[in-house]
Structure 1
Amino acid sequence: MYKKFYRAFSQAPSGSPSAMLHMACHSHHYWPDITLEAVQQYWHDAALLADDKWGPIFHEKIPAWQNAVARTLQIPDAGQIAIAPNTHELVYRLISALDPAKPLRILTTDGEFYSFARQLQRLEELPHVEVTRIPKTPYATLAERFERELHTRNYQLAYASLVFFDSGVVFPELLRITEQKPEETEFVIDGYHGFFARPIDLSKVADKAFFTAGSYKYLGAGEGLCFMSIPSRCRLRPLNTGWFAEMAELENRPGSVNYGDNWLRFAGATMDYSCLYKGLAIFDLFRREGITVDKIHRYVLNAQSRFLNTMDKNSHPLLNRERLIHHDLKEGHGHFFTFDCGTTENSEKLQKELKARAVLCDRRQHLLRLGFAIYHDDNETYQQVFDSP
């Protein structure tokens, strides 16, 4: 039903089988056809307007993007949504705003994405930084264990994923935990694997937590456009700050480092805004066609159910219920399945076998991930995953 919007990107690469089944969509979604026109429009605007392009970008395009994100996540104040080329830049800018003269205690899990996990390892080399990592498994007790630790010690920063990148499992009760967090703790929700996949309502926590995500995965607008929502009462002064943060006072610099009361507090510097045009084009396309996150989620749930039915009819040594890191689909799972193949060698071998039968997927060490998207046919049974080459 939705595949018609992805005609230009649903063809097999040169030299590959024609019936390619793209199941790495949790890593990189295909771009809707409309994004080609959007990139061309960006080129036209930039070439025609030159330096004058900043007016439309900052006064029209960015507010339109902020409003679209705010509607999607039910964030009350769209003006509190900062943008940057990646979430790492935004999160590190937040960390830089914490008092470097005081001990820095950070609470997180052992299941966070590489960029944040690596940054924490580097920070831990400093004598005043202490990181506590709560094991994500067993998932059934994660909420209890994380919340208990959050209220046990004085943490300056807490950081957790809404949907874990390696397993697709949803962090149980994370929004409730955030809503009841200690006042002195800055809280960051990594929402990248949930944004534009699962319905998310931040209306109760928007003024309590930072929320990060971007356009690279489920929105399908490509890399280079990420965002972080900021609590409205935030008065932090990032040490890592760029000239965009002073955009309102460029012509009359006060001689001191001041910060605005909107998203520019966390602004960086110059970036490529072609991704902004692509993201807006997709939001507009989906609005015209009545495609909502709820509909996308239901579509993917149906696809996942068809996959499970097909899987259960086959006797695959690795792709089976016992190997599937699987929780309730409606309440506790993202838009991809993860199979524990036991060893890195097993997952690598299986990935190659799947590619040989025109199924594209990805893996993380011993874990193999299979994703689902709205550009999969609505009658796709996924038997291709299990057939012999």
Structure 2
Amino acid sequence: MTTLDELRRSPNALAAHYSRFRVADRLLLSGHSHQAWPDVALEGQVRAFEDAAECVDEKWGRAFAKADEVRAGYRTLLGDPAGEIALGANTHELVIRFLSALDLPGRPRLVTTDGEFHTLRRQLARLREASVDVVAVPAEPADTLAERLAEQIDGRTAAVLVSAVLFETSRIVPGLGILAAACRERSVELLVDGYHALGAVPLPIHDLGLGDAWIVGGGYKYLQLGEGNCFLRLPRQAEDLRPVITGWYAEFDALAERRPGLVGYGPGATRFAGSTYDPTSNYRAARVFAFFAEQGLTPEFLRQSYLHQTGLLAEEFDALDAPEELITRDRTAPRTEFGGFVSLRTPRAGELQRALAGRGVLTDSRGEFLRFGPAPYLSDEQLVSSVAALGEALRAL
């Protein structure tokens, strides 16, 4: 098992497991977007090919077993051992299935925030154009966001959609359990986007009062699972819904008994299933989930690692003493109220991102936010060097 001290040293104790991504030789501060995959991920991809070559069309039994391992990994992260988990290639297709199950003709109102990732932002904006009443509550200040969302719920509201961690600012949204209770009281569905939480911020949904909530997320970012590994966690009331947008896998278990009449659905999460997919991603994800277990990379352990790394990045940034009108960060809350990356607000975010890339530091920018995303395989020395490169870029402006 790796210790936190071993992660802070140079070289980082985990770095050897990521040799193909050369994490020890590069300053990859894009961990909030695309983390490196451990070398063992390739074992999963090769195994997918070998199973297909050996079994041809009979490979699906083995592929479905890998999918079950991925579901088990997400259940563990959510603290939801009996949870119903639907899988998808991306969160958009899963959100679409969720939206298609709502009674939008009868309750044509959706409540969200203006700080949601583009998956929700764009789709909800398009629904607004199609005459759905979409209310976007300002995401800032995050401290009161859940309360302000609850105030917007009325008898016409079908669902509330909000992130657990805001993708631009890294702020954790507190009080989601209170919001969930308000939704429950009015028979409104609550969908929580957990993408920027899982792997960086523990999300034990029952402890947080989110047992009745839908949780969507994926492993492209902090979990290092790569593309094609997203999930939708279904609450109990999902068994009463009939989503419009599903694939033939949604009745896979009942095909032999199919009868004319209403479209049928399988049990549990099956009713939100899609159709034929590339199982390679699940093979890779199952192997990476196993690697995390082998290395002791639990949600609690990873949280301590990210708190240290983001704290160090924030301290090094403050030491630059850069003009606040040029670049600044949110100092209104302690680091414990932020997720797994540091967000710097600057009108020259894109320019600075490009300047950093030219200095060998990979970050990203979203609008006026320049985001530094560490990862557990980076050493303290690498983080300090990355902020030093930012200082050079700022002086060159």
State if a TM-score over 0.5 links the two structures: yes
Corresponding residue number in structure 2 for 1:15: none
1:378 shift after superposition? 4.4
Q: Distance in 1 between matches of 2:30 and 2:343?
A: 11
Corresponding residue number in structure 2 for 1:340: 345
Which ranges in structure 2 are unaligned for 5 or more consecutive residues? 1-12
Corresponding residue number in structure 2 for 1:156: 158
Instruction: Find out whether 1:43 has 2:46 as its counterpart.
Output: no
Corresponding residue number in structure 1 for 2:22: 10
Corresponding residue number in structure 1 for 2:58: 52
Instruction: Find out whether 1:265 has 2:271 as its counterpart.
Output: yes
Corresponding residue number in structure 2 for 1:281: 287
Q: Distance in 1 between matches of 2:278 and 2:325?
A: 41
Matched to 2:127, the amino acid is L
SS in 2 for 1:67: helix
Corresponding residue number in structure 2 for 1:116: 120
Greater shift, 378-387 or 293-302, is seen at 378-387
Matched to 1:141, the amino acid is T
Taking only aligned residues, the RMSD between alpha carbons, in angstroms, comes to: 2.1
Matched to 2:113, the amino acid is T
Q: Distance in 2 between matches of 1:61 and 1:159?
A: 30
Contact 1:163 1:170 in 2 (8 A): yes
Corresponding residue number in structure 1 for 2:5: none
Which ranges in structure 1 are unaligned for 5 or more consecutive residues? 13-18
Same amino acid, percent of matched pairs: 34
Give CA deviations for 1:211-238 in whole Å, capped at 9, x if unaligned.
Answer: 0001111111111110000012321101
Corresponding residue number in structure 2 for 1:300: 306
Corresponding residue number in structure 2 for 1:73: 78
Cα pair distance change 1:318/1:270, threshold 3 Å: farther
Q: Distance in 1 between matches of 2:383 and 2:90?
A: 35
SS in 2 for 1:382: helix
Q: Distance in 1 between matches of 2:139 and 2:166?
A: 9
Please report the TM-score for the alignment, with normalisation by the length of structure 2: 0.89
Corresponding residue number in structure 2 for 1:195: 198
Instruction: Find out whether 1:376 has 2:383 as its counterpart.
Output: no
Greater shift, 84-93 or 373-382, is seen at 373-382
Q: Distance in 2 between matches of 1:243 and 1:206?
A: 30
Instruction: Find out whether 1:244 has 2:249 as its counterpart.
Output: yes
Greater shift, 370-379 or 328-337, is seen at 328-337
Cα pair distance change 1:200/1:327, threshold 3 Å: farther
Q: Distance in 2 between matches of 1:11 and 1:162?
A: 28
Find the partner of 2:68 among 63, 67, 70. 63
Corresponding residue number in structure 2 for 1:362: 364
Q: Distance in 1 between matches of 2:193 and 2:386?
A: 33
Corresponding residue number in structure 2 for 1:16: none
1:332 shift after superposition? 1.4
Contact 1:357 1:385 in 2 (8 A): no
Cα pair distance change 1:153/1:110, threshold 3 Å: farther
Q: Distance in 1 between matches of 2:195 and 2:218?
A: 6
Contact 2:147 2:175 in 1 (8 A): no
1:46 shift after superposition? 1.4
Q: Which has the higher helix share?
A: 2
Greater shift, 199-208 or 106-115, is seen at 199-208
Please report the TM-score for the alignment, with normalisation by the length of structure 1: 0.90
Corresponding residue number in structure 1 for 2:10: none
Cα pair distance change 1:305/1:125, threshold 3 Å: closer
SS in 1 for 2:152: helix
For these two proteins, the number of residue pairs brought into alignment is: 375
The 5 A counterparts of 1:144-183 are: 144-150=147-153, 152-181=154-183, 182-183=185-186
SS in 2 for 1:233: helix
Q: Distance in 2 between matches of 1:285 and 1:373?
A: 15
Q: Distance in 1 between matches of 2:338 and 2:374?
A: 12
Q: Distance in 1 between matches of 2:105 and 2:128?
A: 15
SS in 2 for 1:159: strand
Cα pair distance change 1:11/1:348, threshold 3 Å: same
